[in-house]
Amino acid sequence: MRRFFLFLPWLMLVGVSLAQAGAVTDSPKLKIIASHYPLAYFAERIGGNRVVVNQPSPPGEDPAFWKPNAKAVGDMQKADLILLNGADYEKWLPRVSLSKFKLADTSATFRNEFIRIENAVTHSHGPGGMHSHEGTAFTTWLDFGQAGKQADATAQAMIRKRPELKTLFLENLKTLQADLAGLDAELKAIAALKPGLALFASHPVYQYLARRYGLNLKSVHWEPNEMPGKEEWEELQKSLAAHPARWMIWEDRPDPEIADKLQSLGLKSLVFSPCANRPESGDFLEVMKENLENLRSAMH
Ligand SMILES: [Zn+2]
């Protein structure tokens, strides 16, 4: 009994010094929710094991057309930080009540450069129902210069929540931005192999990619697993006369029947995945490198 009391002051001292050291190493992991995978990847690269990152939309669903259910809203209310793409990506945002102190709009610094889409058609795509791309083009991260700015905004928002980890976050941001700058330089070099080469895109999601890298891209509104109707094929053939492309860029590998039919019109297919969802294997950087190699094959 006596011994116990003797030890008490020591225990208290040890406790105090642990708490001080813990300010850097043991602060609770930052709970982050990212509205699409590229932002989740950025937060994971910047935060390492100091963060827990969740992307709430289910794997098979395009996060751009996802709506949070009650559980997802509850999770967001419990999170420390919610990373938003901005550029009208989060159509659900106005209907959900969240503290503005935990929201970070990662594209706000370049909102003057957003691309507006006029006269977009509404299409039905399988179980997802009708959707349109009218409004602001939102695939901002396929311009790797913009992606670098979104990574920076991600880091700044994380630092606001954990100022004691600023040095670590900034170091990790630097290596991430170096990787993004590498993609940017390489894609510029690939695009320069055949400047102005006519290309088709299967879906209107490559506006920023085309602008940044000077691609001569014309878009239809097709899905990789839905055979387009007779009218859509006729439209394409008409467009081909004015825009004699040899390649169509897809978000995902198209069904063989679609690829074969395109081939008969002289159009080959290549995949440039926006990677809005966590890939089954690899990560954002690996998927983007694969995209670049796929695009390179069109430039020969
Ligand atoms: Zn669409």
Among the candidates 156, 181, 206, a domain finishes at 181
70 part of a folded domain: yes
Written as six digits, the tokens of 50 are 């100091």
Quick one: what percent of the chain has pLDDT higher than 70?
88
- Whole-number Å distance, alpha carbon 123 to ligand 1 midpoint, is 7
Residue 133 Cα to ligand 1 midpoint, Å, equals 6
Task: Using the predicted structure, report yes or no on whether residue 14 has a pLDDT greater than 60.
Answer: no
Please, which pLDDT band fits residue 243 given cuts at 50, 70 and 90?
Answer: very high
Q: How far is the CA of 166 from the centre of ligand 1 (A)?
A: 39
Question: Which pLDDT band holds residue 21 (cuts at 50, 70, 90)?
Answer: very low
| Any domain includes 2 | no
The CATH code of the domain that includes 75 is 3.40.50.1980
For residue 64, the CA-to-ligand 1 centroid distance in Å is 10
Task: Provide CB contacts within 8 A for 107, sequence distance 6+.
Answer: 85, 86, 87, 114, 140, 146, 149, 150, 153
In a domain, 35, yes or no: yes
Confidence band (pLDDT; 50, 70, 90) for 127?
Answer: low
Number of domains in the chain: 2
Inside any domain, residue 4: no
pLDDT tens profile 130-164: 777 888 999 999 999 999 999 999 999 999 999 99
Query: What is the structure's pLDDT at 17?
Result: 43
Distance 267 CA to ligand 1 centre (A): 21
pLDDT at residue 13 greater than cutoff 50: no
What is the span of the domain harbouring residue 197? 186-298
Cα 249 to ligand 1 centre (Å):
14
CA of 114 to the centre of ligand 1 (A): 18
The yes-or-no verdict on residue 186 having pLDDT over 80 is yes
Q: Is the pLDDT of residue 11 over 90?
A: no
User: What amino acid occupies position 257?
Assistant: E
pLDDT band at 18 (very low <50, low <70, confident <90, very high): very low
Q: What is the pLDDT of residue 20?
A: 43
Q: Is the pTM of this model over 0.85?
A: yes
Q: 90 and 165 share a domain?
A: yes
| Residue 297 CA to its chain's centroid (Å) | 24
Residue 49 CA to residue 23 CA, distance in Å, equals 15
- Cα of 134 from ligand 1 centre, angstroms: 10
Residues 231, 147, single domain; the answer is no
Are 65 and 164 in a shared domain? yes
Same domain? For 128 and 172 the reply is: yes
Tokens of 129: 């129902």
Ligand 1 center–CA 161 separation, angstroms: 35
Domain boundary among 181, 201, 226: 181
pLDDT in tens, 265-287: 999 999 999 999 999 999 999 99
The number of C-alpha atoms within 13 Å of 44 and in the hemisphere containing its C-beta is 14
Say how many Å lie between the CA of residue 124 and the centre of ligand 1.
Answer: 8
Q: Where a domain ends, among 160, 181, 202? A: 181
Q: Is residue 17 part of a domain?
A: no
Please tell me the distance between residue 220's alpha carbon and the centre of ligand 1 in angstroms: 9
Query: For 38-75, how does the pLDDT look when each residue is reduced to its tens digit (9 = 90+)?
Result: 999 999 999 999 999 999 999 888 999 999 999 999 99
Q: How far is the CA of 112 from the centre of ligand 1 (A)?
A: 24
The answer to whether the CB of 159 falls within 8 A of the CB of 226 is no
Q: Are 121 and 221 in contact (CB under 8 A)?
A: yes
- CA 120–ligand 1 middle distance (angstroms): 10
* Amino acid occupying residue 187: L
Looking at the fold, whether 173 and 215 belong to one and the same domain comes out as no
Kindly give the distance from the C-alpha atom of residue 229 to the centroid of ligand 1, in angstroms, as a whole number.
Answer: 16
Q: What is the pLDDT of residue 3?
A: 46
Task: Report CA(131)–ligand 1 centroid distance (Å).
Answer: 6
End-to-end CA distance of the chain: 84
Residue at 5 is within a domain: no
Is the residue at 19 inside a domain? Answer: no
Are residue 149 and residue 34 in the same domain, yes or no?
Answer: yes
pLDDT band at 9 (very low <50, low <70, confident <90, very high): very low
Regarding whether 205 and 150 lie in a shared domain, the answer is no
CA 31 – ligand 1 centroid, Å: 31
Q: How much distance in Å is there from the Cα of 90 to the middle of ligand 1?
A: 15
Predicted local distance difference test score (pLDDT) of residue 5: 45
What separation in Å is there between the alpha carbon of 219 and the centre of ligand 1?
Answer: 11
pLDDT at 19: 43
The rounded Å distance from CA 63 to ligand 1 centre is 12
Query: Can you give the pLDDT at residue 26?
Result: 75
Cα separation of 75 and 71, whole Å?
6
State percent of the chain over pLDDT 90. Answer: 83
Closest CA to 173 of 7, 42, 33: 42
Q: Say yes or no: 80 and 104 in one domain.
A: yes
User: How far does the centroid of ligand 1 lie from the alpha carbon of residue 234, in Å?
Assistant: 19
In a domain, 238, yes or no: yes
Q: Looking at the structure, do residues 104 and 239 belong to the same domain, yes or no?
A: no
Q: Which H helix or E strand runs over 216?
A: strand 216-219
Same structural domain for residues 81 and 205?
no
**pLDDT-derived band of residue 258, with 50, 70 and 90 as boundaries?**
very high
Q: Are residues 172 and 192 in the same domain?
A: no
* pLDDT value at residue 24: 55
- 193 and 163 share one domain: no
How many CB atoms lie under 10 A from the CB of residue 212?
Answer: 18
